Amino acid sequence: MKNIITKIFIAAMALFMTVGCSEDFLDAPVPTDAVAPDVIFTSREGVEAFISGIMRRFRGQYTSTDSAGLNSIFYARSLKGNDIIQSNTWFNFDYANDNREPTYRRTSFSWNYCFYMINQANALINGVEASDLAASDKKELSAYGYALRGFFYHQLVLEFCPTYSADKTFPAPPIYTELSLTGGPMSTVDDVYKLIVSDLTKAVDGLTASRLGKSYINKNVAQGILAQVYQVMGNWQGAADNANAAYGGNPTAVLAPASYRSGFADISNVEWIWGSAQRTDQSNYYWNAPASMADHFTTSYSATYINNDFVNKFSATDVRAYFVRKSTSITSTSDYRYWVTRKFTFTFDGDNAIIRTPEMILIEAEAKARITGKETEAHDLLYVLQKNRDVNAVKSTNTGTALIDEILLERRKELYAEVGVEWFDAKRLRKGITRTGNHRIGTAANLTADDKKFYLKIPQAEIDANPFIDESVNANR
């Protein structure tokens, strides 16, 4: 076991240097002095340094501008929907819903990146559990690894499979719970979700509210991830309970409407439960979507536009209605360049949100709208958020499906261009996405319910290298 851990650590060190042991850990994981593998798991400080190195890999200049870490996966999902528009530059093929073939960059990156992070999580879990650390430290630190592994397996199964309720027997990515240098056989969607729930349950049990900074995982983050998983699985009580715990149960205490127009670049924002932090000397530079794509007022790609049909869903007094015309020279609303958003401000030290409190509030609201006898609570939660964002908001009288649809729209209005919420909701609920308005690529990029374009094919490089996977794996993809 020690030899395997050492090999994995050396491989990781080829890509990053872990932060040195110190009593003061910065909120942003910063690689400085290397920690020798034979001391990583002999102290809590050594393990925390290893964790800092792992978290630094949430962003990086990997293969290209649209393959830059977790943010790239999220942004590709955002562009597959109806609400935002991409010009003919980076992420263009994601926007066209035509980026899923076995040799394509999106397919290879999403697979390799998620498995890289899973391998690091396994190194953490295996190393901690085989160590002589105090029992309390072993429980908490291994729980961190379980949270990471559960999170990235969820990203994998979202990217490479139909949704949970569509086909639980569908071939899913291989499951690795031990350090592995060789490939394994495909699993099933059901197998992967069982692992995810098991991992995240252990994470919630083992983690505490304390952490090294907001770019790290704690109990609240693990509960937020589990709430998202239960959304996909249709476990509405589990989704409601974990979402409530993630934001703390008092929605008015964790909402700050003025911050919505502050640029979405500061992890200290009270609404951010979990984010990926940056510093100017550790920047991802122009690889940092969404800001590098959506900001038209700072030197950047300025490549993302807003669908005019989506703009029309906001009232004039909604703080989130932060849209402006691209240029007075563009006079037709049918021009895809007509509207841009000022939601994101691009800077080299701008942070990225991963989980925010409004998402958790709306998960709880949706879940309670689907639980018999809880509709009043759903109304109350929805109205708290709506009133917080729009002083003229009126409490909804919708019931049943109409109330759920209103909550789903609120999710789009609140979270657009952040984590791919429109795509996520359409996929898990087995609905299509129809392009309307002034899209650059319109109906050709529509998604039908359970469309195969909701997931990627298995990379050709994996088929070539893994003796347990052959060409037939993509026959029904």
Q: What tens digit of pLDDT does each residue of 365-380 get?
A: 999 999 999 999 999 9
What's the pLDDT at 39?
Answer: 79
What's the pLDDT at 171?
Answer: 98
Task: Give which of 310, 312, 296 is closest to 345, Cα–Cα.
Answer: 296
Per the structure block, which two tokens stand in for 412?
A: 């789009």
Q: What is the pLDDT of residues 454-475, one digit of tens each?
A: 999 999 999 999 999 999 999 9
CB 246 within 8 A of CB 273: yes
What's the pLDDT at 36?
Answer: 56
What's the pLDDT at 20?
Answer: 31
- Distant-in-sequence contacts of 18-23, Cβ < 8 A, 24+ apart: 18/49, 18/50, 18/52, 18/53, 19/49, 19/52, 19/53, 19/56, 20/49, 21/45, 21/46, 21/48, 21/49
Q: What is the mean pLDDT of residues 11-18?
A: 38
Kind plus residue range of the DSSP H or E element containing 3: helix 2-13
Q: What is the pLDDT of residues 64-89, one digit of tens each?
A: 999 999 999 999 999 999 999 999 99
Average predicted confidence (pLDDT) for the chain: 93
d(CA 143, CA 208): 10
Kind plus residue range of the DSSP H or E element containing 408: helix 400-415
What's the pLDDT at 14?
Answer: 40
Task: Give which of 322, 260, 326, 256 is closest to 296, Cα–Cα.
Answer: 326
Kind plus residue range of the DSSP H or E element containing 323: strand 323-325
Burial class of residue 209 in the structure, from the number of CB atoms within 10 Å of its CB (0-12 exposed, 13-18 middle, 19+ buried): exposed
Q: Which CATH number fits domain 2-235+414-474: 1.25.40.390, 3.90.1150.10, 1.10.10.10, 1.10.3720.10?
A: 1.25.40.390
Q: What is the pLDDT of residues 252-311, one digit of tens each?
A: 999 999 999 999 999 999 999 999 998 888 888 999 999 999 999 999 999 999 999 999
Per-residue pLDDT at 21 exceeds 70: no
Lowest mean pLDDT of 35-39, 213-217, 357-361, name the range.
35-39
What's the pLDDT at 342?
Answer: 98
d(CA 81, CA 435): 7
Per-residue pLDDT at 34 exceeds 70: no
Lowest mean pLDDT of 24-38, 138-152, 199-213, 338-352, name the range.
24-38
